[in-house]
Amino acid sequence: MCGIFGMCCNNFLHSVAGTIYTGLMALQHRGQRSCGISTTQCDGKIVAFKDKGLVSRVLNLKVLSSFSGNVGIGHVGDNTLKSAHQNYLQPFHHESQNIEFSIVMDGAVTNYKELREDLETLGIIFSGNTHVELISALIELLYKIYNKDILLTLIKTVEALKGAFSVLLMTSGGELFAFRDPVGYTPLCHGVLETPGKSIRLVASESSALDVLGCQDIFDVKPGEVVEIHPNKKVRKHRAVPQKNGGICHFEFVNNARPDSVIEGLPVANIRYKLGRNLAKLDIINFDNAIVVPIPDSGRSAAMGYSWESGILYQEGLMKNRYRWKINCEIKEKLNPIKAVIEGKDIVLIDDSILSGNTLKEIILMLRTAGANSVHVRISCPPIINKCETNGSLKSRDLLIASKTKIDHYDNFNEEMRTYIGADTLVYQSIECFIDAVGLDENNMCLSCIAEYCLVKEEERLNHLEIDLIVK
């Protein structure tokens, strides 16, 4: 998961760096490992800076003051590669005799291997293995093929790519382009901000990044669409390819997006609240001293909905440390139970999902140590039982405890999960209640990682059978 932000101002003397900083701060939840910024003055010169770390540390006042330019893009990412090489960070700067541009993306290209092999066959050399570099190399090739028509080049790029991607591209001449995959897995929106003497066009992964800047009219970049933005021209939208069935990743509503964002026209906070209400309808808690406690932050809205529907008192029982700077730190550095709230209570603990289960296991132990009578875990998302090639957090089945448990203990899944995390009881959201809460049908939302139509147990059996046949 990443956050991308771009802007374009019709006042050529205006510097966009400070506004990009604000936009990236609003998207910090989408990536805390690295960030960067690129700007241009529409004079053929692109200036860029990127590094590992949070926005406030990397883009400090000294860095921002060195930037000028009325067009720019920015990126926050969760790149887990150990390499410190700048090519693994974004924005990615591409410069050749034919074209110069800076590019940022959120998502993953699923036909990366095939495209890279094709490009290498044509003599193209790569400096790394990032998907954004692949897209840049493809753009370079198509730009030459289509007579340096940048719009047609990007349309053909969208046609060639498969996977989940939202991309912003800024040319050295000050043009800004935004495009999104034909299914619309990852979110992307744009808007206009009118101020005295300036008209500013903005693009961002989430509407919350535009809200904080005062944008009034915000629109989604449609799946398979290329949006063309110029400092002193009207915004133009071009259909690259027809929209395909599938739709937005459901995890945006569960965990990825800020609750104050609107995704596909749907307020995220309202969806999470209804997820909590629907979860309570599936549940029975018969304790006089029970309280509903969220795991902050993404569990909070669901916990409020659960509390309202069940009539059980909502209380903040876990204090989050908002001033930690390290990304990888012990859970005790992130959360601390409030003993005065927890002691002697039966805790209905609300979280958005279970991935590895390790963090949840530690939190449950912390609550017991703080004096909780019992801990009853309620999860607002159905079990994550399948891996996802486009979501970095879900790429490996080995890191998904629900997937492994489903395969090994299909008929006793819930009890095995409860035992593993150390809870007294465990209840997951049903897929039917999840779809009802979101308000999108199955053709407009990707549910692949939670859907049992894949029959994980059978799929794994067939995979082993295939391996055995190859060995023999």
| Higher-scoring residue by pLDDT: 454, 366 | 366
Domain ranges of the chain: 2-244, 267-464
Q: How far apart are CA 320 and CA 366, in angstroms?
A: 13
Pick from 226, 235, 230: nearest CA to 168: 226
Cα 258 to Cα 67, 179, 205, 393: the distances in Å are: 29, 22, 11, 17
User: For residue 99, what are the β-bridge partners?
Assistant: none
Assign 77 to helix, strand or coil. strand
State residue 288's pLDDT score.
85
Q: Determine the residue type at 183.
A: V
Q: Which of 2, 215, 388, 433 is catalytic?
A: 2
Cα 34 to Cα 71, 100, 152, 206: the distances in Å are: 21, 23, 32, 18
State residue 326's pLDDT score.
57
Residues near 42 by Cβ (< 8 Å), separated by ≥ 6?
A: 12, 69, 70, 71, 173, 174, 231
| Mean pLDDT, rounded, for 358-377 | 95
Q: Is the pLDDT of residue 390 over 90?
A: no
Q: Determine the residue type at 444.
A: N
CB of 52 closer than 8 Å to CB of 33: yes
Told to judge if 9 belongs to the known catalytic residues of this protein, a careful annotator would answer: no
Q: How far apart are CA 259 and CA 382, in angstroms?
A: 19
State residue 471's pLDDT score.
38
Chain centroid to CA 433: 23
The reply to whether domains 2-244 and 267-464 share a CATH topology is no
Using a CB cutoff of 8 Å and minimum separation of 24, what contacts does 328-334 make?
331/359, 331/362, 331/363, 331/366, 332/362, 332/366
Query: What confidence tier does 224 reach under pLDDT thresholds 50, 70, 90?
Result: very high
The tokens for 410 are 């299909």
pLDDT digits 0-9 by tens, 248-264: 999 999 999 999 999 99
CB of 135 closer than 8 Å to CB of 124: no
Q: How far apart are CA 249 and CA 186, in angstroms?
A: 7
Cα 98 to Cα 135, 153, 172, 203, 390: the distances in Å are: 16, 13, 12, 26, 31
pLDDT digits 0-9 by tens, 143-200: 999 999 999 999 999 999 999 999 999 999 999 999 999 999 999 999 999 888 899 9
State residue 196's pLDDT score.
86
Question: Is 267-464 a domain of CATH 3.40.50.261?
Answer: no
State residue 455's pLDDT score.
41
Predicted TM-score (pTM) of the model is 0.89
| Higher-scoring residue by pLDDT: 469, 218 | 218
Which CATH architecture is the domain 2-244 placed in? 4-Layer Sandwich (3.60)
| Helices then strands, each counted (H, E), the chain | 17, 23
Chain centroid to CA 344: 38
* Mean pLDDT, rounded, of the chain: 89
CB of 161 closer than 8 Å to CB of 114: no
Torsion of CA 323, 256, 130, 244, to 10 degrees: -170
Q: Is the pLDDT of residue 324 over 50?
A: yes
